[in-house]
Chains A and B, each alone.
Chain A
Amino acid sequence: MEKKATRQAYGEALLELGERYPNVVVLDADLAKSTTSIKFAKAFPERFVECGVAEQSMMGTAAGLATAGKICYTGSFAIFATQRALEMVRNVIAYSNLNVKFCPTHAGITVGADGSSHQTVEDIALMRAIPNMRVVVPADYFEAKAAIKAVAEIEGPVFIRLGRLPVPLIFDEHYEFKLGRAVKLKEGKDVTIFAIGLMVGESLEAATTLAEEGIETEVIDVSTLKPLDTEVILGSAAKTHAVVTAEEHSIIGGLGSAIAECLSENLPTPMRRVGIKDRFGLSGAPEELLKHYGLTSEDIVREAKDLLQRD
């Protein structure tokens, strides 16, 4: 299966956005090569703003640019964009619903060897909790590219979480992203797996394994965590009565929490959360880390079977 990192979509989508919208401005904080915004910097140097190693200043600058009618795209590593600059994002941008898009890369633990200081397990939780903020976690390169382009038409702050690890391609170039829409990738009646990011690919694999044991699994790429597609989520839970969530993020505050919040108020459903169990990251190869933190298709299979009391 062909693989591509979602961060690759960033630079490529920016190139198209630069052509289409004369008011798109891209900012980066000394990581233009890593985030791939360098592509935009080369094509539209007059609309690329290098901010230096100063994420807080970058977010403040983006806010100011947005007040003058610019559509700002900011890049950095997810840890620094969402945490060093968190208060700027919250008070200066989100509070006033300014038109700034956050598309940080290197999210999750699959950054690998750089270790904990460069990994994020809590970025989605932080972004979800901010009023006005929309939160998107693309499953593959195509969904990432479509989302980055689509949100130019949406007024206000949007967070799109991108990764460094090449992950399997699930969609194709015709995929249409719609903010707030979850995408059903596989129909099933026994259990639903709600997944985001690279865990969507793992979930599809898990569904295949489960099918071999006669368990018909529904797989849904939640894609937008905020606003959440409650209709699709409740519809699937009403059918399967068994839910597993899968995310490369802490089980606190991310997809697992979002689904649990939605189900517990509307349709209490037995569920399991596959995710990082309240721990920091670690140096290692991405695959080793996914295994170590229990983020593989086998982990999903185990949780699903446990939930259905089968083994």
Chain B
Amino acid sequence: MDRKKLRQFLEEKARVLRWDIIKMTGEAGSGHPGGSLSAADIVAVLYFYHMRHRPDNPKWPDRDRFVLSKGHACPVLYAALAECGYFPREILWTLRKFNSILQGHPDMRKVPGVEISSGSLGLGLAAANGMALAGKMDGKDYRVYVMIGDGESQEGVVWEASMFAAHYKLDNLVAILDNNGLQIDGPVSQVMEIQPVVDKWRAFGWRVLEIDGHEVLDIADTLVEADKTRGQPTMIVAHTIKGKGVSFMENVVDFHGKAPTKEQMEEALKELSKQGPGAS
């Protein structure tokens, strides 16, 4: 695929995810749209281009793994899994409802394609370490990708796990920081500063790459580059915008854990549809 086409393809997939995120949380009446939207382009590139996986065989032992450590952003993961065919798309509209497989936070026992249950922040990187370590033990060449939130990085266990990954030279592991600058109580810089985050991860023994987390080709190229790392894990610091793609949600703290109202949902879906094909 030439680069222009690839870009169009991935942007279209990201729009599908955004559209579904809005519709899912709008229908549910609760959930976390902001941090789902900021991650949409990265998740689209991983699932529709970069990762080796088989939706018809979710437990295929050689599959690449994606761990959503910031589990509250599961609408973006569920949307990607549905679009890949892990489960029928209609199920998306049961998000957070009684008896749905789509729990408020990801549940690996319920959803095909979810690699580990999450929702309690900070634990994903350690779990991803375990998956990467198992790959090394078993001589497998699968790769492990894990997405962490910037607010989430305030949890101490993130840094314990960071040290571990470097110590065990987990070069089959790539972490992606969704550096959207906001958490619940306000901007990360005001709640509890985590910068300079690039220096921190480097000091912990990681190779660190930086990208615009909304430029799909930049994301795709950087993931390829990360896979070339030898002898250490790679952190991709992705600069993103919380609420990206829906103008009235962008950089608005309150849309962290607040679903759009029905009217806001219609408005957002209309806006997304205007951005190009894919969303409907």
Chain A interface residues (CB < 8 Å from chain B):
28, 30-34, 38, 50-54, 56-57, 79-80, 84, 112-118, 282-285, 288-289, 292
Contact = CB atoms under 8 A, between A and B. Distances in A.
Contact of B192 (A52, A116, A285): A52
B199 to A, nearest CB: 19
> Which of B71, B117, B122 has most A Cβ within 10 Å?
B122
B97 to A, nearest CB: 7
B185 interface: yes
Contacts of A51: 192
A62 B156 CA distance: 16
A147 B117 CA distance: 36
Contact of A115 (B107, B152, B183): B107
Contacts of A56: 156
A114 B25 CA distance: 12
A282 B98 contact: yes
20 contacts: A28-B185, A30-B183, A30-B192, A34-B184, A52-B183, A52-B192, A53-B121, A53-B183, A54-B156, A54-B192, A57-B156, A114-B105, A115-B105, A115-B107, A115-B119, A116-B103, A116-B105, A284-B98, A288-B98, A292-B98
Interface in B174-224: 183-185, 191-192
A97 B118 CA distance: 33
Contacts, number: 91
Given A282-B103, A283-B103, A113 B154 contact: no
A30 B154 CA distance: 10
A50 B184 contact: no
A32 B192 CA distance: 14
Given A28-B185, A113-B31, A118 B104 contact: yes
Contacts of A38: 185
Contact of A80 (B28, B96, B103, B120): B120
A116 B102 CA distance: 12
A66 to B, nearest CB: 20
A288 B98 CA distance: 7
Interface of B: 28-31, 71, 96-100, 102-105, 107, 117-122, 151-152, 154-156, 183-185, 191-192
Contact of A30 (B98, B104, B191): B191
What 10 A-B pairs are tightest by C-beta distance, nearest first? Answer: A52-B192, A117-B119, A284-B98, A52-B154, A115-B104, A113-B96, A115-B103, A114-B104, A117-B105, A53-B154
> Which of B98, B105, B155, B185 has most A Cβ within 10 Å?
B185
B154 A54 contact: yes
A54 B105 contact: no
Nearest to A34: B184
B192 A33 contact: no
Contact of A50 (B99, B120, B191): B191
Contacts of A113: 28-31, 96-97, 104
A295 to B, nearest CB: 14
Contacts of A57: 156
B118 A117 contact: yes
A285 B97 CA distance: 7
A80 to B, nearest CB: 7
A288 B100 CA distance: 13
Contacts of A283: 96-98, 100, 102-104
Nearest to A84: B120
> Which of A51, A115, A116 has most B Cβ within 10 Å?
A115
Contacts of B156: 54, 56-57
A53 B122 contact: yes
A30 B184 contact: yes
Contacts of B191: 30, 50, 52
Contacts of B99: 284
A69 to B, nearest CB: 25
Nearest to B154: A52
A52 B120 CA distance: 14
Contacts of B120: 79-80, 84, 117
Contacts of B105: 114-118
